[in-house]
Chain A
Amino acid sequence: DTEVTQTPKHLVMGMTNKKSLKCEQHMGHRAMYWYKQKAKKPPELMFVYSYEKLSINESVPSRFSPECPNSSLLNLHLHALQPEDSALYLCASSQTATDTQYFGPGTRLTVL
């Protein structure tokens, strides 16, 4: 089973809202990732967690705040987003940071 689940599937929020995206895997993977994908573009890495510690932050604005409460869960907290943050947010996991990454279906985020 190589399933990564993401909730919600769709999210519409205003610029003053606070919301969270959730990602879950039960494959025993110890690395988890957040990517942002704009329309007609490839995914761009935002954050990497390895053994529940943040190992890579690709200079992402502080209005995006990741959290890894345990080895199966990854959250992305959103606050004061801008319309240009509208995108597909993909979560992925891998056994370790150099192994194959398996992606979830994504959350389609629209910021009004």
Chain B
Amino acid sequence: AQSVTQPDIHITVSEGASLELRCNYSYGATPYLFWYVQSPGQGLQLLLKYFSGDTLVQGIKGFEAEFKRSQSSFNLRKPSVHWSDAAEYFCAVGVGGGTSYGKLTFGQGTILTVHP
């Protein structure tokens, strides 16, 4: 079965600093990978996705992520964080076939706090 690990439960950065959120996945085949962001009490907003092709993917709000098959990682980065980026970030892996076709498995999430 697939799984996702986000090692950092909580990260605090200063506004304007760079950001990297870590994500490691476990899946036997080529994964579909996603990063979502959630503000308190809200739904999830898609930041970016990787299905195939270029391993560096660009998303909304200035975020990017790099798929590294050798490290089973899909880390999220942003060069300069804004106060409005404070939220919870979820990495997720999707299944492309078999009995779990369509299942999205989420990591535990990383809460981002931004200091002025």
Contacts and interface: CB of A to CB of B under 8 A. Distances in A.
Interface string A31-58: 1010000000111110010100001100
Given A90-B43, A105-B43, A100 B102 contact: no
Contact of B45 (A6, A50, A94, A103): A103
Interface string A87-104: 010101010011011111
Interface string B29-50: 0001010100001111110010
A105 B38 CA distance: 10
A44 B92 CA distance: 11
A106 B43 contact: yes
A42 B100 contact: no
Contacts of B42: 105-106
A100 B34 contact: yes
Contacts of A101: 34, 46, 94, 104
Given A42-B109, A98-B96, A100-B49, A31 B41 contact: no
A55 B101 CA distance: 8
A108 interface: yes
Interface string B42-68: 111110010000000000000000000
Contacts of B36: 103
B43 A103 contact: yes
Contact of B101 (A4, A98, A105): A98
A98 B102 contact: yes
Nearest to B101: A97
Contact of B41 (A41, A92, A108): A108
Contacts of A45: 103-105
Given A90-B43, A98-B94, A102-B46, A43 B106 contact: yes
A100 B96 CA distance: 12
Contacts of B34: 100-101
3 pairs of A and B residues whose beta carbons are closest in the complex: A97-B102, A42-B106, A103-B43
Interface of A: 4, 6, 31, 33, 41-45, 48, 50, 55-56, 88, 90, 92, 94, 97-98, 100-106, 108
